[in-house]
Amino acid sequence: MPESEQIDSLQAREKILATASRLFSEQGYENTSLAQVARQAKVSKALIFWHFDSKEKLYRSALRKTLEPYFIDVDGLEGLGEREQIERLIDLFYDFVHENVDSVRFFLNLTLQVDRQQDEVLGRVQELYRVFRKSLAEIFESGRRHGVFRDGTQPEREAGLIMAALAGLLIQHFRSDGSPDDARDLIEHLKTTLFQRLLVPAVGSTPAGRP
């Protein structure tokens, strides 16, 4: 195959995957037909079959594609104090959701399908969740040792609470007509109330957190 045709073929494949990812995330697997994918991607069904063989293979390829941007930029935590690291991780979570709405909705819908068997894709998502939660717990533990957080701080419990709160905000974001500004306000409120509870007050300051 000439190089120009290879490039065209790769571009068509990426367009099919992007379209399929969006439709699967919005409508689910059963309610998304290959005819819809072909129509919105502006390709033929035959081309979809040529690249992916079946709807199931297209679905799994779309799942793998949505995993590509899922990572935690821990380099951005270098040089920050424990409070700032926690804030940074929470903001990274929110920014990622905001910038990858289709992909995140895809995973949300997938994980709510209780009848779907565990596979390598869901396993990867769960591993990323564990890494994120573990990072939070380690920062809480470090902050407790350094006197940033109160002695009674329970790192694992606080990390789990943050993840549960973020997951709740995520679902609310997708299930309501709230604006991104509403979600951002809730994120800021989460951080404020979190540190009101956990920070060791500085001498001469109130326990209300950062002014």
For the stretch 116-163, pLDDT in tens is 555 666 677 777 788 889 999 999 999 999 999 999 999 999 999 999
> For residue 209, what pLDDT is reported?
45
- Structural domain count of the chain: 2
* Same domain as 193, residue 96: yes
> For residue 189, what pLDDT is reported?
93
Whether 91 is covered by a domain: the verdict is: yes
pLDDT at 40 over 70: yes
* Same domain as 83, residue 28: no
CB atoms within 10 A of CB 201: 12
* Same domain as 40, residue 89: no
- CATH number (domain holding residue 13): 1.10.10.60
Long-range contacts of 177-184 (CB under 8 A, 24+ apart): 180/98, 183/94, 183/98, 184/94
pLDDT at 69 over 60: yes
Please, are residues 93 and 166 in contact by the beta-carbon 8 Å criterion?
yes
* Same domain as 123, residue 62: no
Q: What is the mean pLDDT of the chain?
A: 81
pTM of the model: 0.70
Q: What range does the domain containing 120 cover?
A: 74-198
* Same domain as 92, residue 42: no
| Among 9, 10, 41, residue whose Cα is nearest residue 24 | 41
b (16+ CB within 10 A) / e for 65-89? bbbeebeeeeeebeeeebbebbbbb
* Same domain as 85, residue 56: no
